[in-house]
Each structure stands twice: as C-alpha cells, then as structure tokens.
C-alpha cells in the first residue's frame, strides 16, 4: 500500500506552535492534535485502510453504473460510499484527539514539480496540451453537434492543463533567473 502513503501523509501538518496535527477532511474541517509518534502511525494506518476501501467502493460503484445495473444496486453503491464517509467521521471522533485552532494549509507542490522536470520535458508537455486542445476544437468544428460535450470537455481539460504547464515554466524561469 505504498501508493497510499502520500495522500495519507498530506493530512498531517505542523501547527504554529510546532505540534503535529491531523486534518481528516483537509481544508474543509478542523484539525486534531496528535499526541505522539505511536498515535500518528496508528492514524496513518487507519487512513490508508479507509483510502483503499474507498477506492475499491468507488470503482465497484462505477462498474455498477457502467454495467447498467438495476437502480437499487446503483443506490446501494452510493449508499456504501456515504456510509464509509460516515464511519470514517465517527472513527476519527472516537480517537478523542484534542482539536487545534490552526487552519489546514494547502501544500504548494508546484515548485518541486517544476524543478523535477527538465526544460525540454516541460515545453514538450506544453506542446502536447496545445495539440490536444486544438484537436478538441477540430472535433467541435468537424463532428458537429453530436460530440459537442466531448469536444468542449477536451478543450477545457487540456486548456487548463496547458495553463498549469505555463505556470510551471514561469516558475522554472524565475528560479533560474534568481540563481
């Protein structure tokens, strides 16, 4: 379950006073002070289990919808997802951790992401996103009204990724200029 280490670790942050805090709902909920490393390991394991169960439940629910299952099964799949969220909420509450007043700070990983790619790779990704955005536009023009939703989605998605790549290139250029 190594692939779950990163999402589970993002929920832990240091507060202004230096204490370790656990934010089960990220930016959308309160944080709880973690008393020590043993409790942190226990919470980390529990979060990884919930992430894995949630992933399996969502994939199974998607398969139910894709296979055009009976509406009762679709409702059961959605109820299972909601039930897991509720169980996780009460599980977190049962740990009786002390709430913290510091808000969750969304980590900014763009700097390390921009540095991890070389310039050629970033420019190549930018070019690919431009081509895919143009392909979405071509699909809109040539295919007509039958594929409007698909072409608009493609243009929006790849356009946003294109803007993100421009931001990464700008950060990389600023970083080089600062050196």
pLDDT of residue 112: 65
Residue pLDDT, tens place only, 12-28: 888 888 889 999 988 88
pLDDT of residue 3 exceeding 60, the answer is: no
Token representation of residue 167: 């931001």
Which residue(s) pair with 98 in the sheet? 33
What's the whole-model pTM score?
A: 0.58
- Looking at the chain, the whole-number percentage of residues with pLDDT higher than 90 is 17
Residue pLDDT, tens place only, 60-86: 888 877 777 778 877 888 899 899 999
Beta-sheet strand order (sheet of 12-14)? 12-14, 20-22, 31-33, 98-100
What is the C-alpha to C-alpha distance for residues 6 and 72, in angstroms, rounded to an integer?
Answer: 35
More confident residue, 83 or 159: 83
* Domain-wise residue ranges, the chain: 2-100, 110-178
**Which sign does the torsion angle of CA 68, 74, 50, 100 carry?**
positive
């Amino acid at each position: 379950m190594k692939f779950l280490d990163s999402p589970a670790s993002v929920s832990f942050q240091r507060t202004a006073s230096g204490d370790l805090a656990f934010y089960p709902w990220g930016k959308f909920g309160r944080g709880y002070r973690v008393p020590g490393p043993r409790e942190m390991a226990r919470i980390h394991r529990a979060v990884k289990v919930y992430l894995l169960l949630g992933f399996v439940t969502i994939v199974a629910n998607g398969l139910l919808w894709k296979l055009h299952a009976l509406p009762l099964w679709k409702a059961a799949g959605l109820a299972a997802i909601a039930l897991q969220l509720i169980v996780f909420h009460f599980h977190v509450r049962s740990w009786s951790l002390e709430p913290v007043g510091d808000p969750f700070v969304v980590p900014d990983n763009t700097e390390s992401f921009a540095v991890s790619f070389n310039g050629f790779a970033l420019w190549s990704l930018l070019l690919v996103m431009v081509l895919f955005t143009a392909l979405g536009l071509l699909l809109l023009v040539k295919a007509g009204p039958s594929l409007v939703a698909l072409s608009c989605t493609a243009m929006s998605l790849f356009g946003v990724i294109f803007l993100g790549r421009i931001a990464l290139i700008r950060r990389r250029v600023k970083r080089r200029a600062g050196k």
